[in-house]
Amino acid sequence: MANAKDALFFSLNHRHLFSALSKTVPYNGALVPNPYKKWMEISLTLPSFETRVYGPPSTSGTRDSFVQLVMEKGCTSFPEIRALKEQFPKRYHEVCSSLRSDGAYIDAGENDELVVEKLVADPSALGVFGYSFLDRNRKLIKDSSIAGDRPDFNCIASGRYSLVRPLYIYVKKDRVGKVPELREYLEEFTSEWALGPDGYLVDEGLIPLPREERKKNYYIARTHKPLSIDDL
């Protein structure tokens, strides 16, 4: 999450974000349509700006990750919502995964460059997008703190930053040797040349795993070892 370079710095947590962006929130002992108009109504530590966040559309994997990593985590910080999970799982999922459609969350499309432009033009707004766009546009925008952590290279690589999502590649073992160059593709993608700290994928916004994890995945790619749940 980020906003304009010269705007106020946001220090947020998952509960703040859920309260600001969820379609339904706890309020005066009941679950109601979100009544919050400004960040300060959620916490006095936040600015008095109106809540306005530009983010990806419902068709985007980034939005799915945002819901899972931010909204669902913030959702479970409320005991009255947690209580729904076992008895009313459908309602629980609905409350935890539905974003507002009243202007607080604004579908900005798939073009992250457009989000950057909107943040520059609207210093009171926040935006949601991939780390690569933040890194490429640091002269125009700055990151927000989430649960005390800011998204720099080392914080993301260590797994400490809570808005991190891993990238998985799934391959059917019986396709190796039948699909031309599939074997070479797997070895290339997991090589140090591609995915190491100085690899070319870093320039595309991917953050490498710790060294031991990279070695493990390179071994899996070369030997075509079937994945188990412990590998995920």
Number of structural domains the chain divides into = 2
- In the structure encoding, which two tokens stand for residue 215, read together? 């070695």
Same domain for 198 and 115? no
Q: Which domain holds residue 192?
A: 173-231
* pTM, two decimal places: 0.86
Q: Spell out the per-residue pLDDT of the chain, length 232, in tens.
A: 999 999 999 999 999 999 999 999 999 989 999 999 999 999 999 999 999 999 989 888 889 999 999 999 999 999 999 999 989 999 999 999 999 999 999 998 888 888 899 999 999 999 998 888 888 899 999 999 999 999 988 898 888 899 988 888 888 888 888 899 999 999 999 999 998 999 999 888 889 988 898 999 899 888 888 877 666 6
Of 130, 149, 119, nearest to 49 by C-alpha is: 119
Q: What are the C-alpha distances in Å from 24 to residues 66, 76, 91, 99, 203?
A: 17, 13, 11, 8, 39
- In the structure encoding, which two tokens stand for residue 163, read together? 């808005």
Residue 21 CA to chain centroid, in angstroms?
A: 14
Query: Backbone phi, then psi, for 92, in 5-degree steps?
Result: -60, -50
Same domain for 119 and 16? yes
Computed over every residue of the chain, the mean pLDDT equals 91
Could you tell me the CATH number of the domain that includes residue 62?
3.40.190.10
Of 71, 60, 87, 86, nearest to 25 by C-alpha is: 71
Same domain for 84 and 113? yes
pLDDT digits (tens, 9 = 90+) for 79-93: 999 999 989 999 999
User: What's the N-to-C CA distance of the chain in angstroms?
Assistant: 26
Of 100, 8, 7, nearest to 54 by C-alpha is: 100
Q: Is residue 65 part of a domain?
A: yes
Sheet containing strand 141-143, edge to edge, reads 105-107, 53-55, 126-127, 2-4, 141-143
Q: Is residue 166 part of a domain?
A: no
- In the structure encoding, which two tokens stand for residue 117, read together? 């432009």
Concatenated DSSP letters of 183-218: HHHHHHHTSHHHHSTTSTTGGGT--PPPHHHHHHHH
pLDDT of residue 232: 62
Using the 3D structure, point to which of 157, 189, 212 is the last residue of a domain.
157
Angle between helices 211-223 and 182-189 (to 10 degrees): 170
Same domain for 11 and 122? yes
Same domain for 178 and 153? no
Using the 3D structure, point to which of 100, 124, 157 is the last residue of a domain.
157
Question: What are residue 4's DSSP bridge partners?
Answer: 141
Asked if 17 and 71 touch (Cβ cutoff 8 Å), the reply is yes
